[in-house]
Amino acid sequence: MPRFLLRHALLPDGWHDDVLVTVDAAGRIASVAPDQSAGDAILLDGPVLPGLANLHSHAFQRAMAGLAERSGPTADSFWTWRETMYRFAARLAPADIEAIASQLYAEMLEAGFTAVAEFHYVHHQADGTRYDDPAELSWRILAAAEASGIGLTHLPVLYRYGGFGRREPQPRQRRFLHDSDAFAALLHKLAPAFRNRHDRRLGIAPHSLRAVSPEMLQAAIAALDGIDAAAPVHIHIAEQLAEVDESLAWSGRRPVEWLLDQGVVNGRWCLVHATHLTSGETLRLAQSGAVAGLCPTTEANLGDGLFPAMDYMAAGGAIGIGSDSHISVDAAEDLRLLEYGQRLFQRSRNLLAGGPDRSTGRRLFEAAAAGGAQAVGQPMGAIAAERRADFVLLDGEAPALAARRGDAVLDSWIFCGQRRPMIREVWVGGQRVVEQGRHLRAGEFAARYRQTLRRLLEE
Ligand code: ZN
């Protein structure tokens, strides 16, 4: 049984020194005991955190990060960005998607994310023709996860319509589309690859209330229940005011209100963005047990709006973070921006600390670790028995962490952004995947990624 000695570690009950962790052959933590000495254990000599889940990813979008920052002929918005994204998505071959995802997942691991929920909506060829194997692009995502060593919750996206009330999709959306039967068949084809793995989970992502009918939503959940009745269900919701207005016109109810009224939302759900909420919706969502999937850097980049994090967290709502479009892949930056959005709006400080005399960084990190683990449905998010042995070793020698201990480590990692990487090593299931701040296969992935991008963008 491998044993680790963690010099200074965040456990569920707070910070401890010299924590001896035993790990079983499957990579799960068997026992945790502070204040030990063990000369033969693997020493993680610095501050150690549990790994975070990145609960919202569209992997291919990493390759277009930075390419939608030029102003267009008319006012730019989420909807004009989406046009750029559709043009980019149309060019990608299966090998391109695998190359981009491998590079991205290595970057996520270097940033302290040890699992990702991949909200996977490009399924078919550019003209909508199925690949010989309809799961081709899902296998590419799985291959990228295997190569990088990241935990994967795969969420095939159900997408059928172009707008509320069964509007027909546009030709550019052909790569995304399924009917209920084809979607259920896809799930059944994928399921065996996800069974009995603590680092793999299969869930579903009805894309949004724009893209599925109420009947299709029900059928998709029923199909998933036949495979795994506790598996995650993620949905984009209320990211844009136009979506709220269209929902009101369609049903007389706002998107989150409509979904909560269906009586199906519970702890297996992740409502991604949920940006535009009334105070009533905020309270109901917090009480539902679902996770609000927040993507602060992408939401800022797209000009979505500001999630009411103070009221929601004060009501006990669960949150997690995702890098979504991957305009930034940095857990610390997303947590920082979550707090800074509130500060700029409220003109005050330490707003998400959760009470007097508490560390803002600690509260944000613990909330994202717990909510992220719940949203991806993997045993992670804490250094504790039965969880996967995921460790993030910060660089105790980094100037920004000098003479910091306990919560000050988290506050400094999250708020003192600096160019030098503050993460030294990352372990997933007891296996080291990042060393000296670099993924073990970083060079190989980056070379393939550069080659892929040259071809995609220069041809
Ligand atoms: Zn998204």
Residues 406, 426, single domain; the answer is yes
329 Cα to the center of ligand 1, angstroms:
14
Residues 10, 147, single domain; the answer is no
Catalytic residue (choose from 273, 276, 326, 439) = 273
Q: pLDDT digits over 74-96, tens only?
A: 888 888 888 888 888 889 999 99
The answer for residues whose C-beta is within 8 angstroms of residue 229's C-beta and 6 or more apart is none
Q: pLDDT digits over 323-353, tens only?
A: 999 999 999 999 999 999 999 999 999 999 9
Beta bridge partner(s), residue 234: 270
356 Cα to the center of ligand 1, angstroms:
34
| Span of 69-78, 258-267, 328-337, 366-375 with lowest mean pLDDT | 69-78
In the residue annotation, 334 being an active-site residue is answered as no
278 Cα to the center of ligand 1, angstroms:
21
150 Cα to the center of ligand 1, angstroms:
19
Residues 231, 259, single domain; the answer is yes
Token output for 378: 């993997």
| Residue 122, in any domain of the structure | yes
Residues 76, 196, single domain; the answer is yes
Residue 340: give the domain boundaries. 52-376
Mean pLDDT of the chain: 96
Residues 325, 391, single domain; the answer is no
Residues 136, 162, single domain; the answer is yes
| Residue 454, in any domain of the structure | no
390 Cα to the center of ligand 1, angstroms:
25
pLDDT band at 459 (very low <50, low <70, confident <90, very high): low
Residues 269, 344, single domain; the answer is yes
| Residue 452, in any domain of the structure | no
Q: Is the dihedral of CA 144, 147, 150, 151 positive or negative?
A: positive
The 3-state DSSP class for residue 281 equals helix
Rg (CA), the chain: 21
pLDDT band at 417 (very low <50, low <70, confident <90, very high): confident
| Residue 239, in any domain of the structure | yes
Domain CATH code at residue 421: 2.30.40.10
Domain CATH code at residue 219: 3.20.20.140
Residues 343, 432, single domain; the answer is no
Residues 136, 280, single domain; the answer is yes
| Residue 458, in any domain of the structure | no
Gap between the Cα atoms of 89 and 178, Å rounded: 17
| Residue 167, in any domain of the structure | yes
| Residue 111, in any domain of the structure | yes
Strands 3-11 and 42-50: parallel
CA triplet 198, 202, 205: central angle to 5 degrees? 140
324 Cα to the center of ligand 1, angstroms:
5
Query: Which of 376, 402, 421 lies at the terminal end of a domain, its last residue?
Result: 376
322 Cα to the center of ligand 1, angstroms:
9
261 Cα to the center of ligand 1, angstroms:
23
Query: How many folded domains does the chain comprise?
Result: 2
Query: Which of 322, 341, 376 lies at the terminal end of a domain, its last residue?
Result: 376
Catalytic residue (choose from 96, 199, 304, 324) = 324
239 Cα to the center of ligand 1, angstroms:
9
Gap between the Cα atoms of 298 and 286, Å rounded: 22
Q: pLDDT digits over 43-66, tens only?
A: 999 999 999 999 999 999 999 999
Residues 368, 391, single domain; the answer is no
Q: How far apart are the first and last CA of the chain?
A: 52
Residues 12, 155, single domain; the answer is no
Confirm if 387 and 30 have CB atoms less than 8 A apart: no
Q: pLDDT digits over 430-449, tens only?
A: 999 999 999 999 999 999 99
Exposed, middle or buried: residue 361 (CB in 10 Å: 0-12, 13-18, 19+)? buried
Residues 74, 45, single domain; the answer is no
| pLDDT above 70: percentage of residues in the chain | 100
Q: pLDDT digits over 283-296, tens only?
A: 999 999 999 999 99
| Residue 331, in any domain of the structure | yes
Query: Which of 376, 403, 423 lies at the terminal end of a domain, its last residue?
Result: 376
Gap between the Cα atoms of 123 and 211, Å rounded: 15
Token output for 113: 């994310």
Q: pLDDT digits over 200-230, tens only?
A: 999 999 999 999 999 999 999 999 999 999 9
In the residue annotation, 324 being an active-site residue is answered as yes
Beta bridge partner(s), residue 269: 233
CA triplet 396, 400, 402: central angle to 5 degrees? 50
